Amino acid sequence: MKLRKPSAKSRPTTLKVESLEPHRMHAEGKVLTTDQGIPISDTDNSLKAGVRGPTLLEDFHFREKMMRFDHERIPERAVHARGSGAHGYFQVYKSLEKYTQARFLTDPSLRTPVFVRFSTVGGSRGSADTVRDVRGFATKFYTEQGNFDLVGNNMPVFFIQDGIKFPDFVHAVKPEPHNEIPQASSAHDSLWDFVSLVPETSHMVMWLMSDRAIPRSYRMMEGFGVHTFRLVNAEGKAHLVKFHWKPLLGNHALAWDEAQKLSGKDPDFHRRDLWDAIEAGDFPEYELGLQIVPEGDELKYGFDLLDATKLLPEELVPVQRVGKLTLNRNPDNFFAETEQVAFCVANVVPGIDFTNDPLMQARLFSYLDTQLTRLGGPNFAELPINKPVCPVTNHQQDGFGRHTIPTSRANYHPNTLGGGCPVLSNPAMAFHHRQERVEGHKIRARSNSFSDHFSQATLFFKSLSKPEQEHVIAALEFEIGKVERVEIRERVVNQILVNIDAAMAVRVARAVGVEPPKATKPPKAKAAGKKGAPSVDASPALSMENSPHDSIKTRKIAALVSDGFAGKELDGVRKALAERGATLEVVGPTLSPVTSLEGREERPLRTFANTSSVTYDAVYVPGGEQSVAALKRVPQAVDFVREAYIHCKALALSADAVLLLSAAGVDDLEPAPTKGVEAMRGVVRSAKTESKGFGQLFAEAIAKRHWERERPLA
């Protein structure tokens, strides 16, 4: 099978991935045929009895073509229906054989092929990318020991503790059954009714209301394995582990108003961003981080590590960065790869094992059961995107969509007709479930170590910066304000929010029209942790504002121009941004060339009619009296500046261009400098064109959002 030539910046992987490549039919030298290979010379006209007569049943090409079209669609995923994927590879930095016998984690020379699928959770395939939602971050490692699927999210915790509640939660968050409204939104009665009655959702709800729920891009969000797994080494010694993905571009979010507008202007914003970055050779990179804990310490920290509604603060157990994931190739066909990829929590390799996390235990069954329906039967592992790169030999047979053609007479074990093959693995090379003593009465109950539902929700909220806390409050006011039933709003405020932070609950209550709760102390934690367990009052690692913001690589900046712009200055800023890996795109009144002060023509890539500030990371307006005067007459250009300012993005305006700030209604900055350059709250202004240091200050301002520009909420 012919392999596609890798991109210029990519390098070949150690493991060959022929099994991942879909069959391709190139147009060159090929003729149109039926699925049976019969050549077809006309696919525009059905076979009829006369040119105006009825279509004949014997037209096998028409019948096959329509039959295939009628059955193109497969059931969409119940959750994570809307997604985007990419190929790449993972490479560990140094051997982790002290902890695991998983070969892809013990051999630093090995590049393990991967396929990653990012997704929203609640919406259908046709929903928008930038809705407020959890994001899936699922990675399939095609290892020499079989496929390992790390099926996680961009948040480290989940809504429920026991998988038996998963259908209830999903039913509650999905569109309401009587009218199928709202799509891809948690701002409705049924979700908040569920939340108000199930306190274990409290911690995850705070994450959902935070900026984590509206990431800037898939390339700029963290990933988490959510559950506590086990690592087991060759000697059988086990450690508990939490998996993390850390994006090398940093952790960034959208503003809520910006995310809502993007849903209309470009509902494919995240998909497009991922695809375009890879096509441009700006390969997304993430480091794999591990929090490793001795097996006997699962209750050491005052909560239960098997509780999926809890996280392990990095201040207690630091994250060790052990390897890097690079995504360097887009899918060749969205359906064959991104839609048909089948992830399953049960897909583990020797050296990685499960724990008794009751949410994980449910997922071990649920994912496999789902694939049987969605992909038409038990042979989905033979689809190219799911097929392991290592040999697969067993006695499974038949069923829908069987690709393998067995030739042995023996389809059972043990046998002599097939020479005893396949033989059982050497025990040292095989997967072994970790041996542990299990005993107890059959009971429908939960451990007391799962009974603290509010302390980590409080920890999360108190760990956020002041702007991030304001965003959480604003999100709660928006979401709960959409709830029609007053009694549900009252329960959320008086039974959930007040136990997280009383001041927050009072503000939300006033905004959503319910009686503010009286000050109360949160209930004492009932976790069965060890006495004197280490704890933290706040975890700075949970704040996106505390994450590094020192890179502008791959950021997109809009330059607004019209005839008479300062061309030499534009070139200087473009160069300063390019040196730091950012891209400047010229936006003008039309796609026809505009002429600079120096007489040089510049052709805009976009116009004010087909783009806006929400699709860019920053906005720059070069000087030039004629250009600025023309831009002031274009409402969309003025809106570009106004929206960028409202959304707390970096702005750079030189010389005459500072006049656009007042035209945009920006009146809370100090007067513009009369000489030199200054940066104030992410707005870079210069007294004249080509001022020294202008481009550098602008580049520094682009690295983060300037939330200090937000006007305080009432």
Q: Active-site residues: which are they?
A: 80, 153
- Alpha-carbon Rg for the chain, nearest whole angstrom, is 28
Strand 601-602, strand 606-607: pairing:
unpaired
CA dihedral 155, 157, 160, 162 (to 10 degrees): 120
Q: How far apart are CA 678 and CA 675, in angstroms?
A: 9
498's CB contacts (< 8 A; 6+ apart) are: 505, 517, 520
Phi, psi of 102 (to 5 degrees): -65, 120
Contact criterion met (CB below 8 Å) for 105 and 179? no
Measured distance CA(660)–CA(597) in Å, rounded: 19
CA dihedral defined by 441, 445, 449, 452, rounded to 10 degrees?
-170
Residue 229 · residue 355 · CB < 8 Å: yes
**Cβ distance 131 to 123 under 8 Å?**
yes
Distance, CA of 262 to CA of 271 (rounded, Å)? 12
Distance, in Å, from the CA atom of 519 to the CA atom of 497, rounded to the nearest integer, reads 11
Give the pair of three-digit tokens for residue 8. 């210029």
Q: Which long-range contacts (CB under 8 A, 24 or more apart) does 18-22 make?
A: 19/142, 19/384, 19/387, 19/388, 19/389, 20/87, 20/113, 20/115, 20/142, 20/384, 20/385, 20/387, 20/389, 21/332, 21/384, 22/332, 22/333, 22/336, 22/337, 22/384, 22/385
| Nearest C-alpha neighbor of 9 from the set 326, 320, 350, 429 | 326
Q: Which of 673, 629, 652, 457 is nearest to 555 (CA)?
A: 652
User: In angstroms, rounded to a whole number, what is the distance separating the alpha carbons of residues 529 and 301?
Assistant: 6
| 248 contacts: CB under 8 Å, gap ≥ 6 | 285, 286, 287, 324, 551
DSSP code of 39? B
Q: Rounded distance, CA 156 to CA 146, Å? A: 26
